[in-house]
Structure 1
Amino acid sequence: MDMDEVFAAIAGETLEVYQDKYKLRSRILNEASQYIETDSSDWPPITFNWDLSKEGQRFSLDGENESSFKTRYPEGFILGTVKLDALDKKLCHFSRRDEGELWTVGYKSRLAYLIVYLSEKRPISPPLVKPHLIGEVMLKGGHHRYAIAKELGEKYIPIYVEPKYRKEIDKLMEIDWIS
């Protein structure tokens, strides 16, 4: 078994699917390098194509495979929509991006990758939010998604929350829950 076959097996994918995804990632990474540390006015047009499917929830946690997700989160997540500025006000300091921090916090290559990915209208899962300290929330996944949405001036953003945190989150922010 060669390395591609091993990685495909670990990902639970066929070799062909794994290789196709690898080629796509490589192409986007190569293209993304031109956007590192650029002003958002120099980015290609971006449209958020939010993947709100039950199957896509695991992608809210960067790198979570399907089997692990089903084991750790058998109920999945609940979906809501929140005003981005309201979320921003409640985010703890290590989840929030303040003015001028777009390229100084997080991974530049991942942010640039996401710029290209979103410009191609590819599906993206909402960030995962959980309660943090008193009166704050944190992003458990989706820091770069949030950063781009904020940079582009999005008014609303969908979020996922673990069902056990709904009441706590409701006390902190006004969420429009989607059944």
Structure 2
Amino acid sequence: MGLDMYLASLPRIDGMELKQLYLVDRNLAKWKEEGNELYQKVKGFVRHYEEFGREWDSIVTEIAYWRKANWLHHWFVTNVQEGNDDMFSYEVKRHHIAILYNNCEMILLNKVKPYDALPTMPGPYWGSTSYDFYYFHEIERSYTIFENLLKQPSFFDENILLYQASW
């Protein structure tokens, strides 16, 4: 129980909207077997995963995972989700990642106070609201994640980046 947050990507495929991509992903095995037309469009993007004794195929790629980094969730709710604090997926654009990257950098360089740039947010089992070791560790880790995304010039042209939280 607690706040879990994910950045994931789906490939941008000509003629396919996000809803279709999700639908295909949920039906990959069945539609592969049937030779479904939509499966044929995505088959080059399918990846095989094995973890904890399970195997599955998906067109979704996990980019990052955070646990109880409530400051980051607060930022996404405010800047991407238009104040809707729910468990739906929201598209994250390159400029969102650039802003987060810059905010993390400003905090790490002591140019701004953490509570001014990326304030914490209380919530049920959402972790500490202190600006402590864990907060700064997650700021530094997030800075690296965002930097790596921004270093890939075609990433946002080729992928749809999504944020989702659950608690």
Q: What interval of TM-score do these two structures reach, taking the shorter chain for normalisation?
A: under 0.3
The structure, 1 or 2, with the larger RCO (C-alpha pairs under 8 Å, 6+ apart) is 2
The structure whose residues are more often strand, as a share, is: 2
TM-score (norm 1): 0.25
